[in-house]
Amino acid sequence: MAASPDKSNQMEKIVSLCKRRGFLFKNSEIYGGLNGFWDYGPLGVELKRNVKAAWWQDMVTSHDDLNKVENAPEPFAMTGIDSTIIMHPQVWKCSGHYDLFHDFMVDCRESNKRYRHDQIVGRWVEAKNQKIFVSAPASENCESDIETKALKFFNIRSKNRDQLAWIGDVVNLTTISESENVLAPDAKNLNTLTEPREFNLMFKTTVGALGNADDFAFLRPETAQGIFVNFKNVIDSTRYRLPLGIAQIGKSFRNEITPRNFTFRSREFEQMEIEFFCHPDESQKWYSYWRDRRLQWYHQMGISDERLIMREHHADELAHYSIGTADIEYAFPFLPSGEYGELEGVAHRGDFDLRSHMEGKLDESSNPLSLELDEHGQPKYRGSGKDLQYRDDLTNEKYTPHVIEPSAGADRAVLAFLCEAYTEDEAPDEKGKMQTRTLMRLHPRIAPIKAAVFPLVKKDGMPEVAKEIYLQLKKDHNVFYDEKGAVGRRYRRQDEAGTPYCITIDGETMENQTVTIRDRDSLEQTRVPVADIGNEIRNRINS
Ligand code: ATP
């Protein structure tokens, strides 16, 4: 029986397995690593490629555009593009990222550490006639961290902890009005935090050799804008009609103030985004469709109901142009119990993006902000001036399409799949003794290695037959050959790598041309004729 691992150190175990088995490495590790950047190792690269390939296949290439697919309001088309990371700087002025894409941060003058303002929590406490706000980074253990800090600050032994008089619950630093008497997370003295300051999350770079102020450009913080600016190109170069979804997978960059929680908040990451263009009158129905469809996709890829939620944003959380946004969230093990982290946002963006790229950045009342001038006396937020509207060739109606945007993070999806897959159970070893087994129950479609091929022993013609099967399977799948050590140990190594099937060539194979297939999760072994192995593995992966 699979046991649910102890949540308190589950994340540590996952991080350690990822390094040990080559899923994820700290970037530039030999130089001490660079915060917020992660490298995928030999197993990780296959896993991530499989996640992106499954998304692209399910959303784009295998999409049936001739018939109405399940729960869709009507038939629709899907296609893709691949745009560049560096785009015309005007794109970011009109999209709003240039002015609005920021977080608030605070610096600690004592520890020289920088924190995202909304990621610090704390609690008021009184002791020895002094009332202070003790803070810590938001985490599962923050309440006990806060207590430890308070005891230390007041120089009280833990056995005398009842001398601390707590006032209210743990609250976010952003919610307290007084800035006096705050003990910063890594400080010994009070009042060392600066006032919150805005920090633009876009990485700046220069294009060309001269590096003048005019040559500034940005690394894209999302892939979506590449789709908006190519909307007209896609319509004009194809025979697609609306409703149409345009998909893109690619790198995005955000200079996050406090990258953390493994790859969850990185500074370089990949997104899998769809901009779905439709008639304004139909947009509400499409919004509901995409919310449900995207939630279902994570279920299909193996995420359990208990750990996945859809969170509809409240009206006051919505951007002014947005008619609705829902986040698909996962109960990552590094979060306090009952809390969820965003995997994907599904947003109804109205006509905001296409209109901004036509007319210039829009203000709160959707008027173009064309009056502010740049250093050349040109409107700072000028749009392209191009007509990005759509004309329906059947009805002759011309309109600015509305957009539904399911925007997923490839790295967050990979992290959720890794967390969901991590399992410890009890299984018999070669001698029949029950031992703890660690396995990654990855869905066979995304498992880095689909099957491992083992000769039971390194003699009696078994390696030769095994190598033939291995080379045959390799034409269609990523498979692995291993003849070293006890077969039980070889199974265990594959369990940790998430390999769903192990094929063993034994004495019986030499007599009747059958092999065993061992299932990673059920441990069930079935005999299959050598001639059927290819079909059997293909069917199991796709079932
Ligand atoms: P968050 O609130 O967690 O910062 P966000 O709402 O800013 O995320 P979006 O702008 O909606 O995120 O980006 C879409 C998706 O891209 C997110 O749901 C997430 O999966 C992924 N993503 C965004 N920022 C990061 C990051 N720093 N590291 C890894 N993935 C990210």
Mode of pairing for the β-strands spanning 244-253 and 434-440: unpaired
Per-residue pLDDT at 436? 92
Whether residue 291 is predicted with pLDDT greater than 60 in this model: the reply is yes
Per-residue pLDDT at 371? 65
Superfamily of domain 57-85+220-351+401-416: Bira Bifunctional Protein; Domain 2 (3.30.930.10)
Q: Which of 93-97, 153-157, 230-234, 533-537 has the lowest mean pLDDT?
A: 93-97
Decide which of 435 and 297 is more confident: 297
**Angle, CA 391 vertex, CA 363 and CA 285 arms, to 5°:** 65
Per-chain mean pLDDT for the chain = 92
For range 425-452, the mean pLDDT: 92
Residue 356 CA to residue 359 CA, distance in Å, equals 5
Residue 150 CA to residue 132 CA, distance in Å, equals 9
Whether residue 3 is predicted with pLDDT greater than 50 in this model: the reply is no
Percentage of the chain with pLDDT > 70? 97
Whether residue 426 is predicted with pLDDT greater than 80 in this model: the reply is yes
Q: Which of 38, 220, 223, 271 to mutate to test the pocket of ligand 1 (most atoms within 8 A of CB)?
A: 271
The Å distance, Cα 409 to ligand 1 centre, comes to 6
DSSP string, 210-267: S--GGGEEEB-S-SHHHHHTTHHHHHHHS---SSEEEEEEEEEE---SS-BTTTTB-S
- Rg of the chain's alpha carbons, rounded to an integer? 27
For range 515-536, the mean pLDDT: 96
Using DSSP's 3-state secondary structure scheme, residue 172 falls into strand
Residue 520 CA to residue 507 CA, distance in Å, equals 22
Partnered with residue 409 across adjacent β-strands are 271
Per-residue pLDDT at 492? 94
Residue 248 CA to residue 223 CA, distance in Å, equals 7
Minimum-distance ligand 1 atom for the alpha carbon of 413? 20
Structure tokens at 418: 């890794």
Decide which of 435 and 503 is more confident: 503
> At 322, is the pLDDT very low, low, confident or very high (cuts 50, 70, 90)?
confident
Q: Ligand 1, atom 10: nearest CA belongs to which residue? A: 222
Residue 349 CA to residue 352 CA, distance in Å, equals 6
Q: 347: Cβ below 6 Å to ligand 1?
A: no
What single-letter DSSP state applies at residue 208? S
Q: 270: Cβ below 6 Å to ligand 1?
A: no
> At 327, is the pLDDT very low, low, confident or very high (cuts 50, 70, 90)?
very high
Q: Where are the domains of the chain?
A: 57-85+220-351+401-416, 103-199, 436-542
User: Could you report the per-residue pLDDT of 176-204, keeping only the tens digit for each?
Assistant: 877 789 999 999 999 999 888 888 889 99
Q: Which of 2-6, 92-96, 175-179, 482-486 has the lowest mean pLDDT?
A: 2-6
Q: 356: Cβ below 6 Å to ligand 1?
A: no
User: Could you report the per-residue pLDDT of 303-319, keeping only the tens digit for each?
Assistant: 999 999 999 998 877 87
Using DSSP's 3-state secondary structure scheme, residue 220 falls into coil
The Å distance, Cα 169 to ligand 1 centre, comes to 29
Q: 273: Cβ below 6 Å to ligand 1?
A: no
Q: 103: Cβ below 6 Å to ligand 1?
A: no
Decide which of 129 and 199 is more confident: 129
User: Could you report the per-residue pLDDT of 504-521, keeping only the tens digit for each?
Assistant: 999 999 999 999 999 999
Contacts 24+ apart (CB under 8 A), 73-76: 73/282, 73/285, 73/286, 73/289, 74/243, 74/282, 76/243, 76/244, 76/245, 76/276, 76/278
Per-residue pLDDT at 1? 38
Q: 145: Cβ below 6 Å to ligand 1?
A: no
User: Could you report the per-residue pLDDT of 463-518, keeping only the tens digit for each?
Assistant: 999 999 999 999 999 999 999 999 999 999 999 999 999 999 999 999 999 999 99
Superfamily of domain 436-542: Anticodon-binding domain (3.40.50.800)
What single-letter DSSP state applies at residue 196? P
Per-residue pLDDT at 267? 96
- Of 190, 37, 35, 25, the residue nearest 114 (C-alpha): 35
Percentage of the chain with pLDDT > 90? 77
Residue with tokens 């509400």: 284
Mode of pairing for the β-strands spanning 130-137 and 182-183: parallel
